[in-house]
Amino acid sequence: MRCVTRPGTQDDKSFLGRTSFWVDIAIANSYLKIMRFSVADAKNKLPELIKAVEDGEAVTICRRGVPVVDIVRTKESPGKKRTLGTLKGKIQVLDPDWWKPMTDKEAEEFLSGRG
């Protein structure tokens, strides 16, 4: 792995000897760590995993040690809130009594195929 010096340092050797450099590397590598869980553990800890993903952690679910699912945070909202009443005035009711039960005569005509 090639190390790159911070701006303002004279050479790589003096920079690599600094403790703060190694602390920075350790911190950076800890952010790359992926949380891995078996399917059974993920099932039991799903609310905790969701919270971890919301906090920016990467979560992978494995089956028999093989990664099969990555849980990621969605980037956009699911959509606009629905608006009620958008079809008002566009629907024509042909029979205002459509909701009432059929009479016996109407039921017989319907079942015989004449209605």
Listed range (26-35, 85-94, 102-111) with the worst mean pLDDT: 26-35
Start-to-end C-alpha separation, the chain: 82
Domains in the chain: boundaries? 1-33
Per-residue pLDDT, averaged over 79-93, amounts to 85
Q: What pTM value is reported for the model?
A: 0.40
- Please classify residue 82 by burial: count the beta carbons closer than 10 Å to its beta carbon, then call 0-12 exposed, 13-18 middle and 19+ buried: exposed
DSSP state letter for 95 = -
pLDDT tens track for 40-70: 999 999 999 999 888 888 899 999 989 999 9
> Residue 70 and residue 31: Cα distance in Å, rounded?
16
Per-residue pLDDT, averaged over 21-37, amounts to 64
User: Could you tell me which residue, 93 or 18, shows the higher pLDDT?
Assistant: 93
CB atoms within 10 A of CB 59: 20
- Which pLDDT score is estimated for 1? 33
